[in-house]
Amino acid sequence: MKTMNSRRDFLKRTGLASGGLVIGLNFLQSCVNEVVNIPKNAAPLVDLENGFQAQGALSVTDFLQIRPDGSVFLSLTKYEMGQGVSTGLSSILAEELEADWEKINIKYIKSSVSESDITGGSTSTLLHWDLLRKAGAFAKYLLIEAAAKEWTVYEDQCYAENGHIHQHGSTVKLGYGELVEKVVVPESYQTLFDEVPLKYQSKFKLIGKSLKSKIIPDIVTGKHPFSIDVRLPNMKYAAVLRCPVFKGKLLSFDASDALRIPGVEKVVKVDGVILDAATHIRDGVAVIANSTWAAFQGKLAVKAEWDLGENAKMEHQKFVADCLEQLDSNRGTEILRIGKKINTSEMDQIISYTYEFPYQHHACMEPLNATSHFKGDSCEMWVGTQSADKIIANIEKHLGIPKENIKINCHPSGGGFGLRYSSEYAVESMVVSKAAGGDLVKMCYSREDDIKFDYLNPFELNKHTVGIKDGRPLFWDFKNVMANWGGLLGWMYYDIPNCSGTQITVDGFTQVGAWRSVMANAEGFSTECFIDEVAHELNRDPLEFRLSLLPRNKMVDFKHSYKCNINRLRGALELVAKKAKWGKSMPEDSAQGIAVYPYMHGNGYGAVVAEVSIANNEIKVTKITASIDCGLVINPDQVRQQMEGGVIWALSAIFHGGTEYANGVVKRSNFHDNPVLRINEIPEIEVHICENDETRPWGVGEIAGPPTYAAVCNAIFAATGKRIRKLPIKKSVLAL
Amino acid sequence: MATIRLNVNGIVHEKEMDPNMPLLWVLRDILGLTGTKFGCGIAQCGACTVLVDGQAVRSCSMGVQSAMDKNIETIEGVEATPFRSLQQAWIDQQVPQCGYCQSGQLMNAIGFLKSNPNPTDEAILNAMSGNICRCGTYPRILKAIKSVVEQSSKNNGI
Ligand code: FES
Ligand code: FES
């Protein structure tokens, strides 16, 4: 059996004792570059330093395995956090492999160096589309060759179906499991992989079907392997008392009470680590115990003295006021310029409003946790992460362990939503293991920790201004203030001859991170509320006005990963308007609102019509109709699932989101004061998927949020006459 | 420390432990039954829901001592009961996304249907409103419960 270790070796076959056929990958994403094509100067997905640029190499030694019993195992190089990648990605593989769907299994990877890929931006499916198709087709090709040799017939007399190779015109067949030991990988496997014929899309049998999830059977029996459920021999439990203020310092601590708690074994100091401007591992005190409960109790009993530092002086209101002041300053970087500068005095009318999108909590149902074992010059971790690469890089940098000695066992998570794109909690658990003298520790955040030390969605202000000449917008200017994050996307999809955009980044007083749909939340909310305001001021129907600014057959270049396809954007808008019967007569005190948004990280387009009613001064969202154009649909039911979830995510942020600070400390702490939407608050939700001519799948998971905020707020305006320019809102109309 | 005897899914466990520890952490950290989840620790999210003598309780907020000698049922035991029909409904409706809240959702739904086998939609929404799902699977939870109710009224019982 031949093993090739050179990095240039695209594919390799390795032997496992009774392992069957094992195909590994070791490549530089060359087969997906044609779609990704991220320009060097593009706005990075999340993080300038560690963003897209970091996703260089991907190497998985047992990417695809077909075992002698016929079972197929796919190593999940994307992270499962509820968005459905395990099912979606394996159906792409199964399609080309002509595998028996029931025999496809998922493997969570054990990653040394670089086996997992960054997961974010609604890009998992689109980035792995070519790779999985080729891998499946490649394996199928080898199996057909093996069968042909076995039967001494030509390959074209054989075909693959449902996990077997058959002979045309005969009932003879061989199962994949029976063939795997007979497969020979040719010397020219690289060329074969590159040129292997793929199926005609019209022949797809699995793609486009609502196949059932691969992970749900384990979920409903309690067996799904979340990282919080890890149990290892000699494992201890850890809880950390962290400095309540960002960048504060630990002066001293007294652990005597903590050590009296039954089960508490050690109390150790955690030295903070500065990772970048927005993310620090905080100074703290870790309690090591024989159960999570004892560790939590011990943490509550530790007395610590802090130097809270400058950020303790920060009051929320003052921060917002400072940001507003910045907005009116001349500071900032121009990130968008279309057409020319327009003299505002020549306009018939200037319309200008500012919109505030607050800090937002993730509150993933699985609190942050990671299990770490520091062993001096090597280490091992068990964690759910959107970014194993970042964890490895930070451990190497800050704990001095060479990256080839760092092993990450990737687990699925109870929600990610961008939070687990941050690597700090994971690195922190390794710092704790080190501080505890190399104990193997499962560090778990309490819910209070998870809320107070959340990597929040950054606070954003967006000011939009248009100049109207002869009833049409002649220029559009937008200006953005954002804390600790470089973020203005400047996706100007409306056809306005002169546009400009300026970004002002301010120092925030707290840590921030990625939050489902990232900057598109604030920009989608503000742009789509603003265009609605302009339509009303010009006495135009909000749908008709939008369509008039979306000329057909246009591709707009945002200097981002993909060009914005106005036909697809229009398609989403027209479909939702039709399905929701836009403009239908509504009962008294009820109204509709509409919005559309392109989510360009994933090249998916969404539109929403919201219906609200007002009774006893209380706002109720009664119905959401949503549409999505996500290109080629892999699994319609999963698309609907993600859209439903995204709508509910946004409604939660509208009515319950935001956060409050006092003296630099997050005031919220748990679900009683950081409420999220509950089952008795949901409207009827209807999802429609656009038919389209795309031959590739595009993003799904983050499409619903941005248009939902705006459609709901626009509907509230239509029902009450009150404009919403700041989230969250109270349900009482009187409070608007 | 005290010796605590627990009957979980029909199996009796007897162990030395802190009698004040909430049932949740005993199940997860001492007995290794990790299907029951920790979400908030203060009876606000429902992730930790188990049945104690047939009633849905928040195991994070029940000291293990008060569960002693009672009949405790967790998600790991459901397959062996008639309520596996609910697990099947969860599969049929493709309810879970990340799945973290779903043990609690299922256990809460079981406890509820035991006491109210023929509920209205409103009663279902009310009963399930203590269980948070951050992935937004609520519309499907409602559908799944309704499908079981319909089926059981046809079959005269679950
Ligand atoms: S963990 Fe018990 S209700 Fe949330
Ligand atoms: S399925 Fe993820 S929290 Fe409910």
pLDDT per position as a tens digit, A428-482: 999 999 999 999 999 999 999 999 999 999 999 999 999 999 999 999 999 999 8
Q: Which residues of B touch A671 (CB under 8 A)?
A: 39-40, 42, 44-45, 132
Ramachandran category for residue A685: left, alpha or beta (phi over 0 → left; psi -120 to 50 → alpha): beta
Tell whether A446 lies on the interface with B, counting CB pairs under 8 A: yes
- Least confident window among A510-519, A641-650, A713-722: A510-519
Contacts of A709 (CB under 8 A, 6+ apart): A521, A524, A525, A528, A529, A595, A650, A653, A654, A727
Residue A173 forms part of a structural domain:
yes
The count of C-alpha atoms lying within 13 angstroms of the C-alpha of A203, restricted to the half-sphere facing its C-beta, is 8
Cα A212-A215-A221 angle, rounded to 5 deg: 110
* Pairing outcome for strands A236-242 and A440-444: parallel
Residue B19: what are its φ and ψ, rounded to 5°?
-65, -15
pLDDT digit string, tens, across residues A621-664: 999 999 999 999 999 999 999 999 999 999 999 999 999 989 99
pLDDT in tens, A320-358: 999 999 999 989 999 899 999 999 999 999 999 999 999
Each residue's pLDDT tens digit, A367-389? 999 999 999 999 999 999 888 88
Instruction: Give residue for tokens 């900057």.
Output: A519
Of the residues A167, A184, A219, the one at which a domain ends: A219
In a domain, A387, yes or no: no
Q: What is the nearest CA distance from A641 to chain B, expressed in angstroms?
A: 8
User: What is the domain-level CATH number for residue B94?
Assistant: 1.10.150.120
A249 domain residue, yes or no: no
CATH number at residue A124: 3.30.365.10
Q: Is B36 within 8 Å of chain A by CB?
A: yes
Nearest to A533, CA basis, from A350, A357, A348: A350
B67 and B132 assigned to the same domain: no
**Residue A194 CB coordination number (10 Å):** 14
Residue B49 sits at the chain A interface (C-beta within 8 Å): no
In a domain, A303, yes or no: no
Chain A residues whose CB is inside 8 A of the B75 CB are 220-222
Question: In terms of DSSP H, where are the helices of chain B?
Answer: 23-25, 84-92, 102-115, 121-128, 138-155
Interface of A with B in 243-262 (CB under 8 A): 262
Q: Which of B23, B34, B135 to probe by mutation at the A interface, max A CB count within 10 Å?
A: B135
Task: Note whether residue A379 is domain-resident.
Answer: no
Ordered strands of the A349-357 beta sheet: A333-338, A498-506, A472-483, A460-469, A349-357
**pLDDT, mean of residues A91-119:** 80
- Structural domain harbouring A576: 517-735
Per-residue pLDDT at A61: 57
Ranges of H-type helices in A37-123: 85-97
Q: Which of A635, A676, A679 should be substituted to probe chain B, the one whose Cβ sees the most B Cβ atoms within 10 Å?
A: A679
Quote the CA–CA distance of B90 and B79 in Å, as a whole number: 13
The minimum CA-CA distance between B126 and chain A, rounded to whole Å, is: 6
B36 contacts in A (CB within 8 Å)? 222
Alpha-helical segments (H) within A260-343 = 292-301, 316-327
Q: Look at residue A386 in the predicted model and tell me its pLDDT.
A: 83
**pLDDT > 70 in chain A, percent:** 90
**Residue B53 is part of a domain; what is its CATH number?**
3.10.20.30
| Residue linked to tokens 């040129």 | A195
* Structure confidence at residue A117 as a pLDDT band (50, 70, 90): low
- B95 and B70 within one domain: no
Q: Contact B129/A229, CB-based, under 8 Å?
A: no
DSSP-derived letter for residue A732 is B
The pLDDT of residue A124? 74
Which of B60, B77, B94 is a domain's end point?
B77
B16 to chain A nearest CA, in Å?
12
Q: Are A593 and A622 in contact (CB under 8 A)?
A: no
| Same domain, residue pair B71 and B56 | yes
Is 80 exceeded by the pLDDT of residue A23?
no
Q: Domain containing B72: what range?
A: 2-77
CA of B139 to the centre of ligand 1 (A): 21
A447: closest chain B residue by CA: B40
Helix, strand, coil percent content, chain A, rounded in steps of 5: 30, 30, 40
Q: Where is average pLDDT lowest: A35-49, A61-75, A649-663? A: A35-49
* Interface contact B100-A262, CB threshold 8 A: no
Measured between alpha carbons, how far is B33 from B43 in angstroms, rounded to an integer? 19
Task: Please give the pLDDT value at position A293.
Answer: 98
Tens of pLDDT, residues A572-611:
999 999 999 999 999 999 999 999 999 998 899 999 999 9
ipTM: 0.98
- Host H or E run for residue B19: none
d(CA A436, CA A235): 12
Nearest in space to A274 (alpha carbons), one of A398, A374, A175, A395: A398
Q: How many alpha carbons lie under 13 Å from residue A348 in its C-beta half-sphere?
A: 9
CB of B80 within 8 Å of a chain A CB? The answer is no
Q: Which helix (H) or strand (E) holds A495?
A: none
Got the DSSP string for A661-691?
EETTEE---STTTS----GGG--EEEEEEPP
Residue in B48, B75, B101, B131 to alter for ligand 2 test, most ligand atoms within 8 A of Cβ: B101
What DSSP element (H or E) covers A82? Answer: none
With 60 as the cut, is the pLDDT of residue A7 above it?
Answer: no
> Hey, is the C-beta of B148 within 8 angstroms of any chain A C-beta?
no
Residues B11 and B71 in one domain: yes
Q: What are the backbone dihedrals phi and psi of residue B40, each rounded to the nearest 5 degrees, phi first?
A: -140, -30
> Quick check: A700 and A352 in contact, CB under 8 A?
no
Q: Any chain B CB within 8 A of the CB of A415?
A: yes
Kindly tell me if the per-residue pLDDT of A10 is higher than 60: no
Residue A58 scores a pLDDT above 50: no
Q: What is the mean pLDDT of residues A538-548?
A: 98
Q: Does B97 touch chain A (CB under 8 A)?
A: yes
Give me the pLDDT at residue A2, please. 30
- Distance CA(A250)–CA(A267), nearest Å, equals 14
A 368-397: CB under 8 A from B: none
Chain B: closest CA distance from residue A449 (Å): 10
String of b and e for A195-224 (b: at least 16 CB within 10 Å)?
Answer: ebeebeeeebebbebebebbbbebbbbbeb
Residues of chain A with Cβ-Cβ distance to B28 below 8 Å are 229, 292
Torsion of CA A185, A188, A189, A192, to 10 degrees: -120
Residues touching ligand 2 (Cβ under 6 Å) are: A 82, 365, 414-415; B 96-102, 133-135, 137
Q: Residues near ligand 1 with C-beta < 6 Å?
A: B 38-41, 43-48, 58, 60
Residue among B21, B35, B106 whose CB faces A293 most closely: B21
Is the Cβ of A226 closer than 8 Å to some Cβ of chain B?
yes
Cα dihedral A242→A248→A253→A257 (10° resolution): -30
Q: Contact A264/A289 with Cβ under 8 angstroms?
A: yes
Q: How many residues does chain B have?
A: 158
How is residue B44 annotated by DSSP?
S
Q: How many Å lie between the centroid of ligand 2 and the Cα of residue A646? A: 12
Q: In chain B, which residues have their Cβ closer than 8 Å to the Cβ of A517? A: none
């979980």: which residue's tokens? Answer: B8
Place of tokens 């104990």: A439
Q: How far is B137 from chain A (nearest CA, A)?
A: 6
**Closest partner CB to A216 (pick from B18, B44, B96):** B96
Of A164, A197, A219, the residue at which a domain comes to its end is A219
Provide the sign of the torsion angle of the four alpha carbons A167, A170, A176, A182, taken in this order.
negative
pLDDT grade for A38, boundaries at 50, 70 and 90: very low
- The Cβ-side half-sphere exposure at A422, using a 13 Å CA radius, reads 27
- For residues A665-689, give the mean pLDDT: 97
pLDDT, averaged across chain A: 88
A43: pLDDT strictly greater than 70: no
B107 touches chain A (CB under 8 A): no
Q: Residue A396: count other Cβ atoms within 10 Å of its Cβ.
A: 16
At residue A19, the pLDDT reads 59
Per CB-CB distance under 8 Å, the chain B contacts of A220 are 75, 87, 90-91, 96, 102, 106
User: Is the Cβ of A365 closer than 8 Å to some Cβ of chain B?
Assistant: yes
CB contact under 8 A, B134 and A365: yes
| Domain boundary, last residue among B42, B77, B112 | B77
Q: How far is the CA of A296 from the centre of ligand 1 (A)?
A: 15
| Regions of chain B short of the pLDDT cut 50 | none
B56 CA → ligand 1 middle, Å: 12
- State which of A174, A194, A219 marks the end of a domain: A219
Which of A308, A306, A307, A288 has its CA nearest to residue A298? A288
Final residue belonging to a domain, choices B12, B44, B77: B77
3-state secondary structure A175-219: EHHHHHHHCCCCCCHHHHHHHCCCCCHHHCCCCCCCCCCCCHHHH
> Residues of A with CB below 8 A from B78's CB?
221
Domain shared by B71 and B99, yes or no: no
Do the domain assignments include residue A322?
A: no
Distance CA A468, CA A595 (A): 21
Q: Within 13 Å of residue A725, how many CA atoms lie on the same side as its CB?
A: 15
Chain A contact present for B9, CB below 8 A: no
Nearest 10 degrees: Cα torsion A205, A208, A214, A220:
-130
For the segment A723-732, what is each residue's pLDDT rounded down to a tens digit? 999 999 999 8
Same domain (yes/no): B59, B125? no
Q: Are residues B97 and B148 in the same domain?
A: yes
**Does the beta-carbon distance from A219 to B134 stay under 8 Å?**
no
Question: Do A243 and A282 meet the contact criterion of CB atoms below 8 Å apart?
Answer: yes
pLDDT of residue B39: 98
Q: What is the DSSP annotation of A440-458?
A: EEEEE--HHHHHHT--BBP
Identify all chain A residues contacting B139, using CB atoms and an 8 Å cutoff: 644, 682, 685
Encoded tokens for B67: 């569960």
Q: Report pLDDT digits (tens) over A128-162.
A: 888 889 889 988 999 999 999 999 999 999 999 99
The ligand whose atoms approach the alpha carbon of B57 most closely is 1
CA nearest neighbour of B49 among B61, B35, B62, B59: B59
A715-723: average pLDDT: 97
Arithmetic mean of pLDDT, A194-202 = 92
Percentage of residues in chain A having pLDDT higher than 90: 71
User: Helices A388-399 & A424-435, crossing angle to 10 degrees?
Assistant: 40
**In terms of CA atoms, which chain A residue is nearest residue B44?**
A671
Domain count, chain B: 2
Q: How many domains does chain A have?
A: 2
Is B7 in the same domain as B72?
A: yes
Q: Is B108 on the interface with A (CB under 8 A)?
A: no
**Ligand 2 centroid distance, CA of A376 (Å):** 37
Q: Report the interhelical angle of B121-128 vs B102-115 (nearest 10°).
A: 130
Single pTM value for the model: 0.93
Give the residue on A whose Cα is nearest the Cα of B105: A220
